[in-house]
A and B are shown apart, each in its own frame.
Chain A
Amino acid sequence: MTELLERAWRMLRELSGDDAYERYLVHWRARHAADAPPPSRAEFFRAEQQRKWNGVKRCC
């Protein structure tokens, strides 16, 4: 039961984008760790929101 709830919670976080920064850090460590320090949560969130709204995102 606890495992199921945990999974649902993880799913909800991923669906809503709540864990976007954590997921980005995983990607960053794998690909860009050598370049520079990673963006902070606030920086990442700002850039992300700007980028996400530059296209068709919602429908009738």
Chain B
Amino acid sequence: MANRKRLPAPIAFVSWAGVAILGASALGGIALHRGESVNAMWFILAAVCVYALGYRFYSAFLAAKVLALDPTRATPAERFTDGRDFVPTNRWIVFGHHFAAIAGPGPLIGPTLAAQFGYLPGTLWILFGAVLGGCVQDFVALFCSIRRDGRSLGQMARDELGAIGGAVALIGVLAIMIILIAVLGLVVVNAMRHSPWATSTVAATIPIAIMVGLFMRHLRPGRVLEGTAIGVVLLLLAVFGGSWVDAHPALRGWFDYDGPALALLVIVYGFAAAVLPVWLLLAPRDYLSTFMKIGTIVALAIAIVLLNPAVKMPAITQFVDGTGPIFGGKVFPFVFITIACGAISGFHALISSGTTPKLLANERDARFIGYGAMAVESFVAIMAMVAACVLDPGVYFAINSPAGVVGAQAADAVAAISAWGFPVTAAQMQDLAREMGEATLFARTGGAPSLAVGMASIFSRAFGDTLLAVWYHFAIMFEALFILTTVDAGTRVARFMLQDMLGNAIPAMGRTSWYPSVLTCSALVVAGWGYFLYFGTIDPLGGINSLWPLFGIANQMLAAIALCVATTILVKSRKARFAWATAAPLAWLVVVTSSAAWEKLFSADLRVGFLAHADDLAAHLASGALGTAAAEQAPRLIFNDRLDAALTLFFLLTVWVLVVETARVCHAALAGKRVPPITETPHVPSRLVEDWVRD
């Protein structure tokens, strides 16, 4: 883009000043607004202005000064071009691949849960966390990997920080994978609980994916678009088919399950998907989910812009004090843990150091792809926040509060929620459930059902007022589709990592296609997340309450690892004076994860501290105050609390080991002592003609 026409300086100055003023007014508007409702347009405006300013100025500074991107340097895609892994690719195409890979269910669910604090804390964190943290992390990780032949985060950690850093990073990734899959599985299970329509539609996605897989393998090899088009049509039919199943007195019984039964089904499915050949289920499901995901996100953006729905949630609720029903804990640090993807997500560093760096034709594109794609992902999180906040707050809390907090009976729940100052009636919830084609919407925790209600009401108003129930189940299907894709793909990746680790001890286990090893390692991985998933469904506090913070801490910990590696690289490449660009978000993440982990461990609040909850339960059990059913479950719940506490402690130690290692290596490098040498590959001039891949 070197020869792109630039605006004359005064005009550019005036227009960027305009963007800044507009953004500041929109942000000020939503921050200071206290009243009935605020228009969603202000959120969109504020977000777009913040991203535009961040991209235009901060990412330009990072590109020019901090990283010193060099367009004359040959990228790995050029040097190792093999037509498969390493392919110089048009920057828009790489952007599309990268965005599809980083955008999962995380940015939709986190903001929905964090809306219990009101819209403001979450919105501010999404905007500023992304511009100053998440986008920087993705951009810098991508840059570091490009300068190192496209190496992965784990390899870079080993090379730059030494063996300890590398090993900690690897185990950390495996642990986060297990927790991530468990909590996402729980979200799907809660969306399908006692809902034959949702369950049958989600179940139908499996044979549909298999049909598409067979089509693309045997009938029309490699015709991805044809296969996907057929699949998408079938998926839409499945949404309507679910309504028919729901109305059928005999059939609906086949798809009506409680939480634990659905958890077992998801576990069996996860194991099957991990050991079946990829072409049969995983790959076609991934194509379908990518298309549905991008289509739905675009449709949601259009609908919000067309409709400007009113945001009814207050800017800040009383739950910032830690008494929130959806998850316990104060706004600091828990809003920063709950919204991980959308503000800063460590997982992205794996993608930025995975397939993406092998595709870039020019190093300069790292800014557009690394920083830009994350800004778009963050925008998705803002839309999820809007979709959660257009619901009546009473309805939002009724859907998302677990029965263990507000009571299992509708009358108790509406009384408790109305007493908080968010009026809602049982009749209103009954009407809403009927409109959505569900038996009940009380205590449907996990964020997916409330997001689906929000999306359904936005879609039905924008694209025709009927079919509310169809839109609702479409939204559920769309969320379940890409959650299950993450379950499959994550299980498979975790299996490879486990095989790799075990292969060091027993060489045969390291052979990725040796069936005994495949089955053992898949079973171990599935057992790991299946355990947390199953017990999440019987947890009286709803499971999400304990698992989502654990996931958030793990994800932020991974981001901290990526930023540790990036900071070390900056210091070692004599850029110490700019190291704050990664060190500042790193410091913030260390503060946030450490204080969240500390509270999860030692808080006396029963809904926050794992150990306090375990002790309380143990005391109740010993005094005989529990009923028979509760007394039977109690030992298991106590054990789980302690297990969660152990995991939290492990995450906390991991972060600190890495931070200390980073400080040690950086200090040694600055003092001129011996450190692992910088592994940047030498400059090879690019021979690609400037415009050849750009059409």
Contact = CB atoms under 8 A, between A and B. Distances in A.
Interface string A48-59: 111111111111
Contacts of B341: 59-60
A53 B283 contact: yes
B428 interface: no
Contacts of A46: 217, 221, 279
B627 to A, nearest CB: 37
Contacts of A14: 89-90, 93
A16 B512 CA distance: 27
Contact of A24 (B83, B97, B106, B283): B83
A15 B278 contact: no
Contacts of A21: 222
Interface in A19-37: 20-21, 23-24, 26-28, 31
Contacts, number: 110
User: A12, A14, A48, A51 — which one has the most chain B CB atoms within 10 A of its CB?
Assistant: A14
A27 B225 contact: no
B612 interface: no
Greatest chain B CB density within 10 A among A17, A27, A49 is at A49
Contacts of B348: 59
A56 B357 CA distance: 13
B493 A60 contact: no
A58 B489 contact: yes
B689 to A, nearest CB: 15
B350 interface: yes
B267 interface: no
Contacts of B101: 57-59
A28 B180 CA distance: 40
A44 to B, nearest CB: 7
Contacts of B225: 12-13, 16, 18
Contacts of B81: 27
B489 A57 contact: yes
The range of chain A's interface size is 35 or more
B221 A42 contact: yes
A7 to B, nearest CB: 7
Contacts of A57: 101, 286, 351, 354-355, 489, 493
Contacts of A23: 83, 87
Contacts of B489: 53, 57-58
A54 B222 contact: no
A53 B285 CA distance: 13
Contact of B347 (A31, A44, A49, A59): A59
A17 B100 CA distance: 13
B97 A60 contact: no
Contact of B355 (A11, A18, A50, A55): A55
B370 interface: no
Nearest to B347: A59
Nearest to A55: B354
B223 interface: yes
B286 A17 contact: no
Contacts of B106: 59-60
A58 B102 CA distance: 7
Nearest to A60: B106
A46 to B, nearest CB: 7
Contacts of A48: 84
Contacts of A56: 350-351, 354, 493
B558 to A, nearest CB: 10
B378 to A, nearest CB: 14
A58 B485 contact: yes
A24 B663 CA distance: 45
A48 B93 CA distance: 18
A57 B87 CA distance: 17
Contact of A18 (B184, B224, B347): B224
A14 B225 CA distance: 10
Nearest to B81: A27
A24 B89 CA distance: 12
Interface string B71-96: 00000000001111101011011001
A2 to B, nearest CB: 16
A52 B350 CA distance: 15
A45 B216 contact: yes
A8 B420 CA distance: 52
B104 interface: yes
A56 B355 CA distance: 8
A60 B347 contact: yes
Interface in B264-280: 278-279
B622 to A, nearest CB: 39
Interface of A: 7, 11-18, 20-21, 23-24, 26-28, 31, 41-42, 44-46, 48-60
26 contacts: A14-B90, A15-B97, A16-B228, A18-B223, A20-B222, A23-B87, A42-B222, A48-B84, A49-B279, A50-B278, A51-B85, A53-B283, A53-B489, A53-B492, A54-B496, A55-B496, A56-B493, A58-B101, A59-B101, A59-B103, A59-B345, A59-B350, A60-B105, A60-B180, A60-B184, A60-B345
Interface of B: 81-85, 87, 89-90, 92-93, 96-97, 101-106, 180, 184, 216-217, 221-225, 228, 278-279, 282-283, 286-287, 291, 340-341, 345, 347-348, 350-351, 354-355, 485-486, 489-490, 492-493, 496, 512, 555, 695
List the 7 shortest-distance A-B pairs measured between CB atoms, nearest first: A27-B83, A60-B106, A45-B222, A42-B221, A58-B489, A53-B278, A18-B224
Given A14-B89, A14-B93, A45-B221, 10 more contacts: A12-B225, A31-B83, A41-B221, A45-B217, A49-B283, A53-B283, A54-B496, A56-B354, A59-B486, A60-B486
